[in-house]
Amino acid sequence: MSDWVEVRRGSYHDSVTLMRISRSLSERPDVAAAMVAMGTGLNREMLERMGFAVPPDARPDDLVVAVRADGKALDEARGALDGLLREASRPAAAVAPGAMAPPRTTASAAARADATVALLSVPGPHVFPEAMDALDAGLNVMIFSDNVPLAQEILLKEAAARRGLIVMGPDCGTAVIGGAGLGFANAVRPGPVGIVAASGTGAQQLMCLLDEAGVGVGHVLGVGGRDLSPEVSGRSALAALAALDADPGTELIVLVSKPPAPRVADLIREAARRLDTPVVFALPAAGEDDLTAAAEKTLKALRRPVPEWPRWKAIARDALGWDLAARGAGAGGGHRFTDFGDDAYTRGRAHPMIDPALRLEAVRAEADDAGCGVLLLDVVLGHGAEPDPAASLAPVIADAVRARPDLGVVVSLCGTPADPQDRDRQAAALCGAGADVFASNAQAARHALSMIEGAPAEGTTT
């Protein structure tokens, strides 16, 4: 095997394009490893963990190419790379004679359509003028981009309030408007529940649990993970609550958030008490309802039965004879939590729901650590997410439990049977690889803890 590492100065391509190129090269015969990425610190670190020697002068605006393969396969990969990059850089087709040229600004695009929402996905440091352009055009704004400066977020939300509009985001990955999903949204039935979400995957978990119980969602208004921070002070959450309260089709509102600032949580609760529409809270704090409990409270408020949440037991587990309590799983190093969707991990990279490479490397590393007793993973399905996450994750899990029969693997699987990836097919592949799989993330977390503590394990095949 030989390594080829090359730095191409100032050659920019977006992270999703580079993820697809990396995957295409990795899948070629006799290629052991391949990664094509911008030279950010995070990407350089990952390349080094893969064993590549990255030139120290690689900059964030440089393209770094790294391939490990046999001689002939390496030459063929080089040729394939150039073709893939040329294809990615090919300009759009020219406008046909007499046809209308594409709009060059958000405002000019809005003038041609009966639009109410603009979805922006440009690099975070450059999103502010585009968002202001959309607000000036009378549009509500969904900012998919992350790494937007906090001061700019506050200015945008203040500008939206003056215009009677809502800014969803920044870092708003999930929204549903009138039953139509935007960003990472699951295939769920329409219905009477409205969600205000300062956590995109939290909203997806709630949507999927409600759908499993036969209850639909009409609107999900994402507000961005920082909205309930002391600085932003719930500006978009308050606007979203008022908008859903005014919607005649919304019978109940659920507010989902990352840990809120206590003062802001009190402000939001006080505003909720003044609404005509009842509000259920799902906040990650002591004494608060988790997402599953909030879903169950919502169902009871709507006088709908609470089902048994789906779970799938690892096919190979009993045969392997796992006994985590006996070996004292996890006793040495304590617990570790990593959110690969955090801004720190997405600079110059696609979100892990699109590109799982960082997490796959982390799973391999944790499985190699004898002090790791249980791996708890979340897999999120839906539109915009990886087309078949089990195709890459299941083999890594299978390798891990084959090498470590004492390793427990638990997966929280957020999705619906109607999602493009097919939740039940994903569950079958993951439990076939050796993971216990749960539709409820709360049940998955408790099951992982019970494996460490030696309590009776949950899980029945469905």
User: What are the structural domains of the chain?
Assistant: 2-89 (3.30.70), 106-301 (3.40.50.261), 311-453 (3.40.50.261)
Q: What is the mean pLDDT of residues 379-401?
A: 94
Residue of 146 and 153 predicted with greater confidence: 153
pLDDT at 455 over 60: no
CA separation for the pair 277, 348 (Å, rounded):
41
Q: Does residue 250 have a pLDDT over 80?
A: yes
Cβ pair 34, 78 in contact under 8 A: no
Name the most confidently modeled range: 11-15, 144-148, 321-325, 349-353.
144-148
Percent of the chain with pLDDT over 90: 64
Judge contact between 52 and 387, C-beta under 8 A: no
pLDDT at 98 over 50: yes
Q: Is the pLDDT at 439 greater than 70, yes or no?
A: yes
Quick one: tokens of 168?
């969803």
Q: Give the whole-angstrom CA distance, residue 395 versus residue 356.
A: 13
User: Are residues 240 and 228 in contact, defined by beta-carbon separation less than 8 angstroms?
Assistant: no
Per-residue tokens: 270: 């006080």
Do the beta carbons of residue 364 and residue 396 sit within 8 Å? yes
- Better-scored residue on pLDDT, 365 or 246: 246
Query: What mean pLDDT is predicted for residues 113-142?
Result: 92
Q: CA 360 → CA 79, 137, 205, 366, 453, distances in Å?
A: 27, 43, 22, 10, 26
Strand residues in 283-407 grouped as ranges (E) = 311-312, 374-380
DSSP letter for each residue of 117-171: EEEE-S-GGGHHHHHHHHHHTT-EEEE------HHHHHHHHHHHHHHT--EE-SS
Question: What does pLDDT average to over the chain?
Answer: 89
Q: Taking a C-beta distance cutoff of 8 angstroms, is the pair 259, 285 a contact?
A: yes
User: Is there a contact between 22 and 85 (Cβ–Cβ < 8 Å)?
Assistant: no
**Six-digit token pair at 6?**
């090359």
Selection from 100-104, 108-112, 420-424 with the highest mean pLDDT: 420-424
pLDDT at 332 over 80: no
pLDDT at 382: 95
Say if residue 170 is preceded by a cis peptide, omega within 30 of 0. Answer: yes
Q: Is the pLDDT of residue 11 over 90?
A: no
Mean pLDDT for 237-260 is 97
Secondary structure letter of residue 90 according to DSSP: P
Which residue would you say has higher pLDDT here, 247 or 346?
247
Within a 13 Å sphere around the CA of 459, how many CA atoms are in the beta-carbon half?
Answer: 27
Give kind and range of the element (H or E) at residue 221.
Answer: strand 217-222
User: Distance from first CA to last CA of the chain, Å, rounded?
Assistant: 45
Mean pLDDT across the stretch 135-157? 95
Q: What is the DSSP letter of 229?
A: S
pLDDT of residue 82: 87
> What is the C-alpha to C-alpha distance for residues 329 and 180, in angstroms, rounded to an integer?
44
Distances (CA, A) of 257 to 81, 197, 265, 334, 406: 42, 6, 10, 26, 35
Two structure tokens written together for 354: 């699109």
Phi, psi at 6, each rounded to 5°: -140, 140
pLDDT score of 118 more than 80: yes
Residue-wise pLDDT for 42-87, tens only, equals 889 889 888 999 999 999 889 999 999 988 999 999 899 989 988 8
- pLDDT at residue number 462: 29
| Contacts for 139 with CB less than 8 Å, ≥ 6 apart | 106, 110, 115, 116, 117, 118, 165
Q: What is the dihedral of CA 97, 99, 101, 102, to 10 degrees?
A: -140
Alpha-helix runs per DSSP H in 183-261: 200-212, 235-245
For the entire predicted model, the pTM comes to: 0.82
* Confidence (pLDDT) at 434: 96
- Nearest Cα neighbor of 221 from 130, 342, 140, 115 is 140
Asked if residue 252 lies in contact with residue 194, where contact means CB atoms within 8 angstroms, the answer is yes
- How far, in Å, CA of 428 to CA of 314, rounded? 9
Please tell me the least confidently modeled range out of 183-197, 304-318, 332-346, 403-417. Answer: 332-346
1-15, 43-57, 72-86, 89-103: least confident range: 89-103
Per-residue model confidence as pLDDT tens digits over 128-138? 999 999 999 99
Q: Which helix (H) or strand (E) holds 193?
A: strand 193-198
Taking alpha carbons only, the member of 36, 7, 17 closest to residue 90 is 17
pLDDT in tens, 258-300: 999 999 999 999 999 999 999 999 998 888 999 999 999 999 9
CB 379 within 8 A of CB 393: yes
